[in-house]
Structure 1
């Protein structure tokens, strides 16, 4: 089946009007964080939100549910639980059970719920930097102590970021109780090696830590033949202390439907987490649950086609970065996100925020590395059409090649 990843979809309508090439019945506006935050003249390459139409199977399932016309409080259907079990066994080689699943309105709420459920006020919540910005706010928002350890930067341009186990252990104190882990890693795109994960597992067990493993990008491994292995599956000894977070949101472009799943094998841990979630999270999003089941049941052909597109975009971006003096990038092994080191760019010398300078001078919005705990970097979202990617790269050329 052919899928269209080439035709731009109008997501921002200048002056509230219809796009010139859009259908006659196109609505005047659908507000989008990505496309409306910075105004009509800026090309948004920041938030992790792709510009592709979601899989046809998902759209068909949503149309059928909308046609029913009643949107009362829903339940997580057994068929969805079984579908996720089948997906996990087929794609990760991990046999999970339906009752291990706790469906939630997103991964970010799950991070906060885990902190409340598994730690006490003042306990340490640890993560590595750079990291997806909400990780850095969990401890403060839940009355815990934030703790951070820096990853090892690439030894040379183009080489990968590495997990620095010595730095991670040095950041642990007697009050540390929870590690917020990202696997694969956002923003660097790293797929952790077995040795890195083995070192992490030993450290976690020795210091008696709980782990929340955010595996949101695990279905977007870009290297041919790569296969994701969940942390709790790779190291069964960690299963009793690990919450694994999955969602169809990034893979199938369903972020606005706010549906995710915590997979918790240990019954006691599951009860603790579920008890805290009561009253703090709403019941399941009835449309999000429908979309999730359709994505996991029928979305594989679309996912495979998407991966081919993203591989091509990664290649184009790598070639472009090589032409930008002083700019470095370790090609992401997963995700549709690129982590750019802009500290050496001559055209940005003296700029306090390279991301802000590119926004003003190039009209391209990136995510600021400072928000990830690493100033001088920026994250670029290449999950868009080739036309839109080329337009943004052309604008960046004008500044970074100068």
Structure 2
């Protein structure tokens, strides 16, 4: 098999501060290496870029519509990669997964209802309930107690947190920030609780095409439990897999007609159309992006190994092997860097990580290893210097 990295270049650094503004690269000073927001430093697949060029050359950018060919491409992707045969009519295209979380909350729950999620969790999850006058209910995951353990769902804790007013579970599958792929028993717990307590599940599966271990295969929650179709909204997007976040395009897959109609009716007037360029990019990615994705996975596996090797030399730091995403969840509570370790790592180490407090877990940090190997090596060296200094 040809090494995809010889066909697609994931090693060449791309200037991202100029001429186009970048949230990731312009939030901090020019000497800071940014490994924070979930945005990779790689050019998107050539097929996507070529499709966008063709669309730009058309020259007219008026109101668009969802093409049947895009719906068909997502059906094909789902069938090929997950074994889930979805229908074109089950798709509701949206301008992003985070807006979809808010829209689902608005459409499928009432003021005062409880919205539950497990922590740590990427920050938008923690803002949905309060922003819509709902009750925020959080349940901590079971943290690894030894190097051989893994993050896991605490079934007793989630059961104890459910109240009569609990109406929705915001689920992240696979999990951001830990990179955990939920085990079958964990998904079964979620399914049983949802049915018994009459919960709607919004399953954010944004990183589902970035399972890093060889042979790993994503199982959408709605596919795993088809009997729960009337209560599951599945959220997908090409944004993380193909580095297209700025094109704001996502899809809610809602096979149950009644639930889909509730979602559509409850978001009417609030639900903007997706970016027409995002629609073009999504279709090209789903039709032609698989070779690029396979090459990307090889690069991310290598970067993950590089990161893991570095962390073993950081006194007090712990990393539990991320199974998915290009994000690593670091336990820095015993490094001597203080209650907010990302602050000294930024101020003195000149590396920007995401603060664990924003995910509900102070003392942790999320590191984005979706960058070139050389940039990652430099960032890891800087972090290692800080860890050594703090332990002395």
Once the two structures are superposed, residues 57-80 of structure 1 have per-residue CA deviations (whole angstroms, 9 ceiling, x without a partner) of 000000000000000000000000
Contact 1:82 1:98 (C-alpha < 8 Å) held by counterparts: yes
Identify the range of structure 1 (153-162 vs 197-206) with the bigger mean alpha-carbon deviation: 153-162
State the distance in 1 between where 2:272 and 2:113 align: 27
TM-score under structure 1 length normalisation? 0.94
* 1:6 pairs with 2:11: yes
Q: 2:85 aligns with which of 88, 95, 114?
A: 95
State the distance in 2 between where 1:357 and 1:71 align: 46
Partner of 2:22: 32
Identify the range of structure 1 (234-243 vs 224-233) with the bigger mean alpha-carbon deviation: 234-243
Partner of 1:75: 65
Q: 1:326 aligns with which of 305, 308, 316?
A: 316
Aligned alpha-carbon RMSD (Å): 0.8
SS of 2:118 mapped into structure 1: strand
* 1:355 pairs with 2:342: yes
Contact 2:333 2:339 (C-alpha < 8 Å) held by counterparts: no
Stretches of structure 2 that go unaligned for 5 or more consecutive residues are none
State the distance in 2 between where 1:201 and 1:284 align: 31
State the distance in 1 between where 2:268 and 2:109 align: 17
State the distance in 2 between where 1:48 and 1:30 align: 18
Partner of 2:234: 244
Once the two structures are superposed, residues 329-378 of structure 1 have per-residue CA deviations (whole angstroms, 9 ceiling, x without a partner) of 111000000000000113x1xx2310111111100000000000000000
TM-score under structure 2 length normalisation? 0.97
Contact 2:106 2:267 (C-alpha < 8 Å) held by counterparts: no
Task: Give the number of equivalent residue pairs.
Answer: 384
State the distance in 2 between where 1:56 and 1:359 align: 34
Partner of 1:225: 215
Contact 2:202 2:235 (C-alpha < 8 Å) held by counterparts: yes
Task: Give the alignment of 1:188-199 within 5 angstroms.
Answer: 188-199=178-189
Contact 2:25 2:34 (C-alpha < 8 Å) held by counterparts: yes
Q: 2:253 aligns with which of 259, 263, 267?
A: 263
Identify the range of structure 1 (101-110 vs 269-278) with the bigger mean alpha-carbon deviation: 269-278
Contact 1:158 1:331 (C-alpha < 8 Å) held by counterparts: no
Runs of 4+ in 1 over 6 A off after TM superposition: none
Q: 2:140 aligns with which of 143, 146, 150?
A: 150
Task: Give the alignment of 1:241-320 within 5 angstroms.
Answer: 241-320=231-310
Task: Give the alignment of 1:152-191 within 5 angstroms.
Answer: 152-157=142-147, 159-191=149-181
* 1:390 pairs with 2:377: yes
Stretches of structure 1 that go unaligned for 5 or more consecutive residues are 14-28
